A and B are shown apart, each in its own frame.
Chain A
Amino acid sequence: MKILVCISKVPDTTSKIAFTDGNTKFDETNVQFIVNPYDEWYALVRALEITEQGGGSVTVVNVGPAANEPTIRKALAIGAHEAVRIDGEPGEAFYVATQIAEYAKDKGFDVILTGKETINFNGAEVGGMIAGLLDLPYISLASDLQVNGSTATLKRVIEGGYEMVEVNGPFVASAQKGMAEARIPNMRGIMAARTKPLNVVPAVPVDTLTSVKVFGTPPPKSDVKYIDAENPGQLVELLHTEAKVI
């Protein structure tokens, strides 16, 4: 089984979120970057499990500049067999999806996995776009993936429940919690990652469909109003008359 896992470089969950250049760029000062957790914990680890059991290879692909390579190496340290960096500036999901679709279209991947969304742009777009561009089935929000020959069975989390979906032949899926357990790279993995292939391929030209004009942060929350534990009725009154939510 030949699996492609799309990985994104994102700021660590606890990073301070600030912007520069007239609020048009994310301020990277003192920010620690990581592999997008959904890409790493669920998509990549499940891909590794599948190839460990049934053979095959896992390729990780990232669209971005050379500065992304340390982050890509982390995915290799966890166990991906090889990595590809498509040398471009990922301005929007359509750009990223087009680059990955162009790269993947003639490589014969059986499965293309992404995380359910990135933790910086929260769009949940790239997987669906790749599937659309390559005309492949797409299963979003998968929390389980079992492969049996050329048939895959996925559990898809929907509002208030789940859906079991069966698909034959190549497909694209986005992975979420439940699909696998996060792995911590060991020293052997980290050493091996240094010498694993990280191929750089040029980006193709893509039309810009959308762009961010300005970023902002929400106004700080006003201080919490404490209510006496002995008199919760006061809370009910405030929710009705002040907050007007009940």
Chain B
Amino acid sequence: MSVLVFVDTVDGKVKKSSLEAVYYGKKTAELVGGECVALAFNGSDLESLGNVGASKVLNVADEKLKQFDPSVYTEAIKQAANSVGAKVVVFVQDSTGKSLAARLSAKSKAGLVSGATTLPTVDGGFKVKKNVFSGKAWAEYEIHTDEKVISIMANSLQVEKSDATAPVEGLSLDLGGVNASLTVKEVSKAAAGGAAPLPEAELVVSAGRGLKGPENWGMVEEMAEILGATTACSRPVADSDWRPHHEHVGQTGVAIRPNLYIAIGISGAIQHLAGVNQSKVIVVINKDPEAPFFKAADYGIVGDAFEVVPKLNEAFRKFKESNG
């Protein structure tokens, strides 16, 4: 019996959220008994997955897995799960996990909890919590089936690392029977090495219409750079093409749960809060003391962003200089 964790890679490198998934898999394996096996497709430098709890890593090198095709990927994951006798398969609830977890669940008749925010409990049934009603409530699910699929929300667990490394084994699968279901024509992504992509970012600096125009984003980007944070924006900003659409957080955009969310010039409509209310700490900077966002904030500054932000950047810079 084991827990299999699907590890997503970008240009062969493991995504940060997948490290959290492996750690989740390790903790789950401790609960159900067994080992945590990580599964990667065409990955490299995978030994370090031992740091976050993988007992071993299976790497499938296969041309058919070069493009992201949910049909082929799911078949490969299903075969890998069978080969190690996995009872639980873990994904991250991002654009990859949302394409795979449900398909695997339906194909294997394995109960799925998607968007899990806690480790399972196993007393009186296998139970996992997730957020529902766009973060306004949670639900505890019981999975009744012997085989289970869990897709976790990024930034749900504090990952503890060790010095352990994991042996990497090549795994060859028989994917001859599964045809490509689609063709990926183009992938457009910000260059690697920049800030973490939004759903997995721990620090997020976000701004809204209060900034008046795209030409004023310099101070927002500056704050993000000082903090090593990722930039985000509200819906009107993305709709006006002041910022790219993938930066839009909120109900219709991306839902995030960073450690720190700094909102500058965003009033805090209920639809925006639905995407950010899981943030651990929320800072709101707004000149309108009646802005509804203050009710959801931990720290608030009532003031003009154009005066407050440069001062705050200066303070952040000083802090970084003296604290590394």
Residues 58-115 of B at the A interface (beta carbon under 8 Å):
68-71, 74, 93-96, 98-107, 109-115
Interface status of B11 (Cβ within 8 A of chain A): no
Complex: chain B residue closest to A238, CB-CB: B299
A189 within 8 A of B: no
> Given contacts A137-B71, A161-B246, A214-B139, are A209 and B100 in contact (CB under 8 A)?
no
CB of B259 closer than 8 Å to a CB of A: yes
Contact across chains for A221 and B70 when beta carbons are under 8 A apart = no
Residues of B within 8 A of A218 (CB): 135-138
Interface-side segment among B31-39, B41-49, B167-175, B196-204: B196-204
Tell whether A186 is near chain B: CB-to-CB under 8 Å. no
Q: Compute how far the CA of A17 lies from the CA of B156 in the bound complex, rounded to whole angstroms.
A: 23
Interface contact B298-A209, CB-CB below 8 Å: no
Closest to A221 in B: B296
Name B284's contact: one of A224, A229, A238, A245 (CB within 8 Å). Answer: A224
Residue tally, chain B, CB below 8 Å to A: 96
Cα A122 to Cα B116 in complex, Å, equals 11
Q: Which of A129, A226, A238 contacts B302 (CB 8 A)?
A: A226
Extra 18 A-B pairs, beta carbons < 8 Å, given A137-B182, A217-B137: A124-B98, A125-B101, A125-B102, A130-B106, A132-B103, A132-B105, A132-B106, A138-B71, A141-B95, A141-B98, A158-B96, A166-B185, A171-B181, A208-B144, A209-B111, A213-B142, A236-B315, A245-B203
List of 9 A-B pairs having minimum Cβ-Cβ separation, nearest first: A229-B303, A128-B102, A209-B111, A132-B106, A137-B181, A161-B189, A159-B197, A132-B103, A232-B312
B-to-A contact residues, CB < 8 Å = 68-71, 74, 93-96, 98-107, 109-115, 125, 127, 130-145, 181-190, 197-200, 203, 227, 245-246, 248, 251-253, 255, 259-260, 270-271, 274, 280-281, 283-284, 294-304, 307-308, 311-312, 315-316, 318-319, 323
